[in-house]
Amino acid sequence: MRIVFIGPPGAGKGTQSLRLAEKLGIKHLSTGDVLREARELGTELGLEAAKYLDDGQLVPDDVVVRLVAERLNGPDCKQGYLFDGFPRTLPQAEALDRLLAEHGGMPLDLAVEFVIEEEELMSRLWKRGRSDDKEETVRERLRIYADLTKPLAAYYEQRGVLRRIDAVGALEEVFARLWDAVQSAGS
Ligand code: B4P
């Protein structure tokens, strides 16, 4: 299966995607994790990403699309994949469509939108305390989400692959809803 997750910061995309990718036996790719790892290693990509990460800004589309294109070429993506946090903008979604067309023309099977209230997000991120989880930065990330990422739900709805899930509740409850969404994909 080819799956993407859309949702505001702290919605639980990372948490749920690891479990789902393991259950389905497909590759999990979090662009956020790759960017943070590159920053810790001080690579060229990491130095570029560092300028944006702590301020809650999106890393430029061309940088992220290059990163995903490299990974899509890997043999571990042949059985399918779950992209967690990509695409995050319309140009990224369009670039992904182009990449998929180049990779044998197989379209996405499923785009999952995590639906959750702002207060719940703030409290989760406050508890996590990552370097980009400060209140002001989270507000900026939420603003960017509403402006640039949320419109992707309509993009995927038009293609008939969108499923929305309620992201509030215990991890197992959310996972059960996600699993139902996976089961219903394509029907
Ligand atoms: P990401 O790494 O994608 O992180 P996120 O959106 O903050 O978090 P996520 O939704 O995965 O939440 P999580 O499961 O961790 O992005 C970080 C930054 O990377 C971006 O701001 C941007 O700068 C850059 N970036 C990434 N992709 C990019 C792209 N495509 N283009 C440009 N820039 C990009 O959960 C959060 C917390 O909630 C955790 O502590 C977790 O334990 C808790 N939690 C999860 N589920 C819960 C539940 N059901 N109940 C209670 N707590 C729960």
Catalytic residue among 66, 78, 98, 128: 128
Name the residue among 52, 22, 19 with its Cα closest to residue 38.
52
The one-character DSSP state at 9 is: T
Q: Count the Cβ atoms, other than its own, within 10 Å of residue 103.
A: 14
Residue 45 to residue 31: CA distance in whole angstroms: 12
Catalytic residue among 39, 88, 163, 177: 88
Q: What is the pLDDT along the chain (187 residues), one digit of tens a residue?
A: 999 999 999 999 999 999 999 999 999 999 999 999 999 999 999 999 999 998 999 999 999 999 999 888 888 888 899 999 999 999 999 999 999 998 777 789 999 999 999 999 999 999 999 999 999 999 999 999 999 999 999 999 999 999 999 999 999 999 999 999 999 996 6
What is the model's pTM?
A: 0.93
- Known binder of ligand: residue 5? no
Substitution candidate for ligand 1 out of 16, 29, 35, 122 with most atoms within 8 A of CB: 35
Please state the separation of Cα 156 from the chain's center in Å. Answer: 14
Q: Residue 91: CB within 6 Å of ligand 1?
A: no
Name the residue ranges covered by the structural domains of the chain: 2-181
Q: What is the CA radius of gyration of the chain?
A: 16
What architecture (CATH level 2) is domain 2-181?
3-Layer(aba) Sandwich (3.40)
Among this protein's residues, is 130 annotated catalytic? yes
Residues 6+ apart with CB under 8 A from 37: 46
Q: Has the ipTM of the complex gone over 0.90?
A: no
